[in-house]
């Protein structure tokens, strides 16, 4: 069996190959590519039975048809989210599709807190100053988080891990989700409607999946509810935040800090070196001009622990496919063919 992986990062490849070592001993070959999968690159998958996709690959109807015509029979997404995959077309084409439903929630939760603390305490600005031997404190004043309110939007595994850290800081906890998490309730979290959470929270952190009903969850109306000095952190999916509305809010001098590990138009930008090119995405360029905004390149998950677990789960999904098994990671089963 021929397997090809797209969007493979240099630090990821050794972990991916180690996870697939058992399959490779059985005569399977793994090909790792740094390029992303889209309509232009789909022909490179010809002759490969399994495609290991990344979250920034495009697997729309056209790409999936090209893959199926080239002999692909399975898509194994190396991520939890799968909004980039046309599952209906995959089912029509008889393509098995699986994802990684869970990995270390601490990787994302801890990074969300790194963003929150960095924008609250002006860490990036301070680091830039001291590299130039400017040791003034003007403009670097932050505030204690103890006693303030953390609004956790989405209280699944990652949201719960974020809430535990907030509890350790001594923060009051507000939560919003379709169902209450007993673990969060045990921390003293109070569940509230979305408007109340955004209005009362000093820090709002997003931990919900990108679905039609959560697209632009943070829009102009929601942002207007937030305190002028609130912090906003998004380490989940870029499409949760209406970038235009966020830019207008920032232009108005509102929000003390914003930490974004994701961006709604990140495909084709994040994970790539654009340093020698003109940034044609005006909205992203404008975000970068605000000193109280910190943008990182979708790296919250990027720990050895989490990436190793993702690689192992992906190898397990391929092994299940070969054995005709389905499980919690299966999105489109072989029976759909």
Residues found in the chain: 337
User: Quick one: 88 and 151 in the same domain?
Assistant: no
User: Quick one: 279 and 325 in the same domain?
Assistant: no
pTM recorded for the entire structure: 0.91
User: Computed over its alpha carbons, how large is the radius of gyration of the chain?
Assistant: 21
User: How far is 121 from 21, CA to CA, in rounded Å?
Assistant: 44
Look at the block and give the residue holding tokens 């092994």.
319
Of the candidates 207, 237, 264, 321, the residue annotated as catalytic is: 237
> Which CATH number covers residue 93?
3.40.50.720
Active site residue 264: no
pLDDT score recorded for residue 116: 98
User: Quick one: 275 and 128 in the same domain?
Assistant: yes
Q: 117 lies in which domain range?
A: 105-295
User: How far is 227 from 210, CA to CA, in rounded Å?
Assistant: 25
User: Quick one: 132 and 242 in the same domain?
Assistant: yes
User: Quick one: 92 and 159 in the same domain?
Assistant: no
Of the candidates 48, 73, 298, 321, the residue annotated as catalytic is: 298
For the chain, what is the domain count?
2
Active site residue 122: no
Of the candidates 12, 200, 264, 266, the residue annotated as catalytic is: 266
Handedness of CA 260, 266, 270, 274 (dihedral sign): negative
User: How far is 189 from 110, CA to CA, in rounded Å?
Assistant: 19
User: Quick one: 41 and 190 in the same domain?
Assistant: no
User: Quick one: 137 and 181 in the same domain?
Assistant: yes
pLDDT score recorded for residue 334: 85
User: Quick one: 134 and 182 in the same domain?
Assistant: yes
Q: Given strand 190-191, what is the order of strands in its sheet?
A: 190-191, 172-176, 149-153, 203-206, 231-234, 257-260, 293-295
pLDDT score recorded for residue 328: 93
User: Quick one: 254 and 130 in the same domain?
Assistant: yes
Active site residue 28: no
Residues 57, 5 contacting (CB under 8 angstroms):
no
Helix residue ranges per DSSP H, the chain: 13-19, 21-25, 61-69, 87-93, 105-120, 123-131, 157-168, 182-186, 194-200, 220-225, 243-251, 282-288, 304-323
User: Quick one: 130 and 252 in the same domain?
Assistant: yes
What residues are paired with 150 via a beta bridge?
173, 203
User: Quick one: 282 and 261 in the same domain?
Assistant: yes
Residues 237, 184 contacting (CB under 8 angstroms):
no
Instruction: From first to last of the 337 residues of the chain, give the pLDDT tens digit.
Output: 899 999 999 999 999 999 999 888 778 999 999 999 999 999 999 999 999 999 889 999 999 999 999 999 999 999 998 989 999 999 999 999 999 999 999 999 999 999 999 999 999 999 999 999 999 999 999 999 999 999 999 999 999 999 999 999 999 999 999 999 999 999 999 999 999 999 999 999 999 999 999 999 999 999 999 999 999 999 999 999 999 999 999 999 999 999 999 999 998 899 888 999 999 999 999 999 999 999 999 999 999 999 999 999 999 999 999 999 999 999 999 854 4
User: Quick one: 98 and 113 in the same domain?
Assistant: no
Around Cβ 64, how many Cβ atoms within 10 Å?
Answer: 25
The answer for residues whose C-beta is within 8 angstroms of residue 16's C-beta and 6 or more apart is: 5, 8, 30, 32, 52, 78, 311, 314
């Amino acid at each position: 069996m021929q397997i090809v992986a797209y969007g493979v990062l240099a630090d990821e490849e050794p972990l991916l190959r180690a996870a697939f070592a058992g399959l490779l001993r059985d005569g399977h070959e793994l090909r790792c590519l740094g390029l992303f999968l889209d309509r232009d690159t789909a022909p490179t998958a010809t002759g490969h039975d399994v495609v290991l996709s990344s979250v920034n690959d495009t697997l729309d109807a056209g790409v999936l048809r090209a893959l199926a015509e080239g002999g692909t029979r399975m898509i194994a997404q190396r991520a939890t989210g799968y909004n980039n995959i046309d599952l209906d077309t995959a089912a029509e084409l008889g393509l098995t599709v699986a994802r990684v439903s869970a990995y270390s929630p601490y990787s994302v939760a801890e990074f969300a807190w790194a963003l929150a603390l960095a924008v609250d305490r002006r860490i990036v600005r301070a680091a830039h100053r001291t590299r130039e031997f400017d040791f003034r404190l003007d403009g670097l004043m932050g505030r204690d988080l103890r006693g303030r309110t953390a609004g956790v939007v989405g209280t699944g595994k990652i949201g719960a891990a974020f809430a535990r850290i907030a509890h350790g800081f001594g923060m009051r906890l507000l939560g919003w989700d379709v169902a209450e998490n007993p673990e969060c309730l045990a921390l003293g979290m109070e569940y509230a409607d979305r408007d109340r959470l955004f209005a009362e929270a000093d820090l709002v952190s997003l931990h919900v999946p990108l679905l039609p009903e959560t697209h632009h969850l943070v829009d102009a109306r929601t942002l207007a509810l937030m305190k002028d000095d609130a912090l906003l952190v998004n380490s989940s999916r870029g499409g949760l935040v209406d970038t235009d509305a966020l830019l207008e809010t920032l232009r108005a001098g509102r929000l003390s800090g914003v930490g974004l590990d994701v961006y709604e138009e990140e495909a084709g930008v994040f994970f790539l070196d654009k340093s020698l090119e003109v940034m044609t995405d005006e909205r992203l360029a404008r975000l970068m001009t605000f000193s109280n905004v910190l943008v990182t390149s979708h790296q919250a998950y990027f720990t050895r622990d989490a990436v190793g677990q993702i690689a192992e789960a992906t190898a397990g999904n391929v092994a299940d496919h070969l054995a005709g098994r389905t499980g919690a990671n299966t999105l489109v089963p072989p029976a759909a063919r």
